[in-house]
């Protein structure tokens, strides 16, 4: 897989991770605050329930201290202030909704605050009169009953007391005119001379009865107002809105957490794959580079070997030429010096011998130079091949004769087919082949023996076989035997250029023929040449 999309993937995942994290950072870290917010909302509702209960207690006189009102209201105010900072976990719409609910609740709370203040004010007066009136009324009634003519008034007072107390207990207002009537009747009755003595006392009593009549409905209305104020409902609504939004926010947060963890996994996965692929690619590149270096190294070594071989060949050439040319040149020089010094005293035979020697050596050198030229031409690829009608038998005989002229202890036994009708061959190349093979056979048979030369025709091929009983060629030398200036290791003092077999090989190849060698050291050598004719 190509690593580029991999890298793009994990870079994209990282970017997405950062973006998601940045946008949802606030939603992920505030769980503790949210808990507190929700707790405060529920505590608010509980406190309102307590307040309502306490209002009823105060109304019935079960509670007399107003401190709990103020403590609770102070706490509610504190909670309301705290709730101003809606949790940032919520969406902005969620926060707006909670804030709107909070504002509604705040209005209701302020209403409750005011109603409770009013309630305390009215209730204090009512409780004061309620505490005083029954006792004072009872006392005055007793006192009046003891007075002459006061029993009727005492009875009326009893009635009034009963009516005021019932009025205080009844939730409805229909009873009020009745009580007010009773109070008025009482006043009228008190105006009679009988009650004169206790008029002040009765006046106070009636003031309190009126206070009860006046304040009781106010207190009840205020209590009703407080109890029916939708403040707890507003708090519940706020709580509900918050809980709903909070739940949604939690869901969102959970989703974002999931997305974040998936992204983190993607980053890690793609990143790891990317790194692994990169490493693998690097390793491959390294291996390829190593192989390339290896190849270059090998080529260099081969080049070096070739160069070395070339150098060796040059040095062989130099040693060969220095040796092979110096010997005939020395001999030519000798003959020339002898002829110069003693030409007048020499017999004609001796003179002819020296001239012949000079000529032979010159011919030898010429042949060697020719061989070098042939090899040079062959290696340059310009060796000419020009087959022409040819009397192979005669040509072979000439060659044998020429080689045999060299003398030596060797007997050449030719077996030459007579009929070569229609054969076409390049005589020069054939000459190179046969002359070299035959002269080698003669040369490397220092202990004499037979040299067999066979020339025959098989179909379109001319076959030439040269075999001797000479020193042979070691198997180790055979593979390189046909290279230029290469000579077998067992040649000893036998002189030679190392060119002959190379010329043979090049010539055979040029004639599209083939060459086979079969030789054993000490037993002899046999060459078989096939050339199309």
Chain residues in the site for other proteins (CB under 8 A)? 60-62, 64-67, 69-71, 73-74, 77, 117-118, 120-121, 124-125, 127-129, 131-132, 134-135, 138, 141-142, 145, 151, 154-155, 158-159, 161-163, 165-166, 168-169, 204, 207-208, 211
Closest by CA to 227, choosing from 40, 38, 41, 57, is: 57
Nearest-approach distance from CB 39 to other proteins, in angstroms: 22
In the 3-class helix/strand/coil scheme, how is 320-359 assigned residue by residue?
Answer: HHHHHHHHHHHHHHHHHHHHHHHCCCCCHHHHHHHHHHHH
Minimum separation from the CB atom of position 200 to other proteins (A): 9
What Cα–Cα distance (Å) separates residue 454 from each residue in 176, 396, 446, 500?
Answer: 168, 9, 21, 19
Other CB atoms within 10 A of residue 104 CB: 17
Closest to 46 (Cα-Cα) out of 70, 87, 84, 79: 79
Q: Which is nearer to other proteins, 59 or 443 (CB)?
A: 59
What is the distance, to the nearest Å, from the Cα of residue 280 to the centroid of all Cα atoms in its chain? 10
CA 399 to chain centre: 81
Q: How far is the CB of 42 from other proteins (least distance, A)?
A: 24
Q: Where are the beta strands (DSSP E) in 43-167?
A: none
Q: 410-416 and 449-458: which strand pairing?
A: parallel
Q: How far is the CB of 234 from other proteins (least distance, A)?
A: 20
Which residue lies nearer to other proteins by CB, 153 or 473?
153
β-pair type (461-467, 424-425): unpaired
How far is it, in rounded angstroms, from Cα 380 to Cα 391? Answer: 30
Instruction: Tell me whether residue 169 or residue 265 sits nearer to other proteins (CB atom).
Output: 169
Closest approach of other proteins to the CB of residue 221, in Å? 12
- Looking at beta carbons only, is 69 or 453 nearer to other proteins? 69
Q: Which is nearer to other proteins, 171 or 422 (CB)?
A: 171
- Which of 225, 271 has the CB closer to other proteins? 225
Q: Shortest Cβ distance from residue 62 to other proteins (Å)?
A: 6
Which C-beta is closer to other proteins: that of 156 or that of 432?
156
Q: How many angstroms separate the CA atoms of 255 and 258, rounded? A: 5
Helix or strand (DSSP H, E) at 173: none
As measured in angstroms, the least distance from the Cβ of 214 to other proteins is 10
């Amino acid at each position: 897989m190509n690593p580029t999309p991999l890298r793009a993937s994990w870079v994209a995942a990282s970017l997405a991770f950062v973006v998601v994290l940045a946008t949802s950072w606030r939603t992920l870290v505030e769980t503790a605050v949210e808990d507190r917010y929700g707790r405060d909302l529920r505590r608010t509702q509980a406190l309102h329930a307590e307040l309502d209960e306490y209002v009823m207690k105060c109304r019935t006189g079960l509670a007399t201290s107003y401190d709990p009102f103020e403590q609770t209201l102070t706490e509610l105010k504190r909670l309301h202030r705290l709730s101003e900072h809606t949790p940032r976990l919520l969406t902005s719409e969620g926060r707006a909704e909670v804030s709107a609910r909070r504002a509604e609740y705040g209005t209701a709370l302020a209403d409750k605050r005011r109603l409770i203040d009013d309630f305390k004010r009215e209730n204090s007066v009512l409780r004061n009169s309620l505490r005083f009136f029954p006792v004072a009324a009872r006392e005055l009634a007793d006192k009046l009953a003891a007075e002459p003519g006061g029993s009727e008034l005492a009875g009326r007072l009893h009635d009034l007391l009963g009516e005021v107390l019932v009025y205080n207990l009844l939730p409805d207002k229909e009873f009020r005119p009745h009580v007010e009537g009773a109070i008025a009747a009482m006043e009228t009755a008190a105006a009679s001379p009988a009650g004169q003595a206790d008029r002040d006392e009765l006046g106070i009593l009636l003031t309190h009865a009126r206070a009860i009549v006046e304040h009781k409905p106010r207190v009840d209305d205020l209590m009703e107002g407080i109890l029916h104020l939708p403040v707890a409902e507003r708090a519940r609504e706020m709580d509900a809105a918050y809980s709903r939004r909070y739940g949604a926010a939690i869901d969102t947060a959970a989703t974002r957490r999931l997305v974040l963890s998936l992204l983190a996994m993607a980053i890690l996965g793609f990143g790891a794959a990317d790194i692994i692929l990169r490493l693998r690619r690097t390793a491959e590149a390294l291996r390829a580079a190593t192989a390339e270096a290896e190849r270059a190294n090998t080529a260099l070594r081969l080049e070096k070997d070739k160069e070395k071989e070339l150098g060796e060949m040059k040095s062989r050439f130099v040693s060969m030429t220095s040796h092979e040319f110096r010997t005939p040149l020395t001999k030519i020089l000798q003959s020339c010096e002898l002829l110069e010094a003693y030409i007048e005293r020499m017999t004609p035979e001796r003179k002819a011998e020296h001239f012949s020697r000079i000529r032979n050596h010159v011919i030898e050198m010429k042949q060697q130079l020719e061989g070098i030229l042939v090899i040079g031409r062959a290696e340059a690829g310009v060796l000419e091949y020009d087959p022409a009608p040819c009397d192979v038998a005669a040509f072979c005989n000439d060659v044998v004769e020429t080689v045999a002229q060299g003398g030596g202890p060797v007997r050449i036994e030719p077996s030459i087919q007579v009929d070569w009708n229609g054969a076409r061959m390049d005589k020069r190349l054939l000459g190179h082949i046969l002359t070299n093979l035959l002269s080698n056979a003669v040369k490397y048979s220092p202990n004499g023996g037979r040299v067999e030369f066979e020339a025959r025709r098989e179909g379109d091929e001319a076959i030439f076989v040269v075999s001797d009983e000479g020193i042979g060629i070691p198997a180790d030398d055979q593979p390189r035997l046909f290279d230029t200036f290469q000579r077998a290791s067992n040649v000893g003092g036998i002189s030679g250029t190392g060119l002959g077999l190379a010329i043979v090989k090049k010539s055979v190849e040029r004639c599209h023929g083939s060459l086979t060698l079969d030789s054993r050291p000490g037993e002899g050598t046999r060459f078989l040449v096939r050339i199309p004719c």
